[in-house]
Amino acid sequence: MLTSMTGYGEASQETAQIRVGFRIRAVNHKGLDLQLRLPMELAYLESSLRAHVTDHVKRGRIDIYSEIEMRDPQWMPKTEVSRPRILQLMETAQILKQEYQVQGELDVNSVLRLSDLVSSQKVGFALPAEGDTLICQTLDQAVLALIESRRREGACLHQALIELLNQVAEHVIELEKVAQERPEEIQNQLRKKMESLLSEYPLDDARLYQEVLYHVDRTDITEELTRLHTHIQQFRAHLEAPDASMGKVLEFVTQEMQREVTTIGNKARMSELADKVVKLKADLEKIREQLLNIE
């Protein structure tokens, strides 16, 4: 069954020590473009978390947003006070009081308002093993929700592609019927032209027959129609394949069908044939647009 490249999934879990949440948004993309946003202190998990996603997703722009709140102080990055910075502030306060007669005292509340006095040591930090496990499990749940979302949309795309492919098959059958009338049509056209040019001379049927054969051979579309039938069968087989990542394969088959239809259009000398070629091209373009959404 086909899978869409568009979807959404989220999941969250929490314990007394940590709360973890992930939101995943997926849209169309030629390849796999995975954007994972983690807090800096958890950057060491990025490679592992990416593997959890790429095991299930092959194409699309995947944006993953994380919400991770550490509730246990023992699970948080170590926070240290910048002693040199505090000494500098105390010296500055003394100068202000002595040289500029500034009144007041440097208290704890004033010091804590300054963001550069404390720092978290994020480099080298790692959660306990159970924290890493919970984060990976939560991401897995969000990925499964994303996959289910993409499959639901893929089912709708699957039905739309079947309907369009059925229309293409009908157009090809109609082309075959029109193509069967081409030799007689060409013969009548050539006869009229030759009669108008050579009205004073008797018409040589053998010569006319040779001309008809020549033009029929130049405008014969039997091979193109046969290949179109083959491509349609291939397209149907790939639609029902168990592998969900068939987008690129179906795009290639569609390109081959478009190539055959273009060749038929170049050979078309009958207005009825040309009209059906236009309809075929229109339906194949609709198929191509739908395939842009398939993984």
3-state secondary structure 57-110: CCCEEEEEEEEEEECCHHHCCCEEECHHHHHHHHHHHHHHHHHHCCCCCCCHHH
Instruction: Categorize the per-residue pLDDT at 289 as very low, low, confident or very high, splitting at 50, 70 and 90.
Output: very high
Instruction: Categorize the per-residue pLDDT at 183 as very low, low, confident or very high, splitting at 50, 70 and 90.
Output: low
Q: List the single range of 156-165, 167-176, 262-271 with lowest mean pLDDT.
A: 262-271
Instruction: Categorize the per-residue pLDDT at 275 as very low, low, confident or very high, splitting at 50, 70 and 90.
Output: confident
Does the structure show a pLDDT above 80 at 104? no
85 burial level (CB within 10 Å; 0-12, 13-18, 19+): middle
Query: Average pLDDT in the 236-259 region?
Result: 88
Question: Residue 191: what pLDDT?
Answer: 55
Question: Residue 198: what pLDDT?
Answer: 55
Closest CA to 8 of 138, 149, 137, 140: 149
CB atoms within 10 A of CB 59: 19
Please check whether residue 164 is in contact with residue 9, taking contact to mean a CB–CB distance below 8 angstroms. no
Please check whether residue 85 is in contact with residue 117, taking contact to mean a CB–CB distance below 8 angstroms. yes
Does the structure show a pLDDT above 90 at 116? no
Q: Domain residues of the chain, as ranges?
A: 7-75+128-149, 79-120, 151-291
Question: How large is the angle between the packed helices 129-180 and 271-291, nearest 10 degrees?
Answer: 180
For the structural domain made of 7-75+128-149, what CATH number should be given?
Answer: 3.30.230
97 burial level (CB within 10 Å; 0-12, 13-18, 19+): middle
Residue range 189-246, pLDDT digits in tens:
555 555 555 555 555 565 555 555 555 555 677 888 899 999 999 999 998 887 767 8
Question: Residue 99: what pLDDT?
Answer: 78
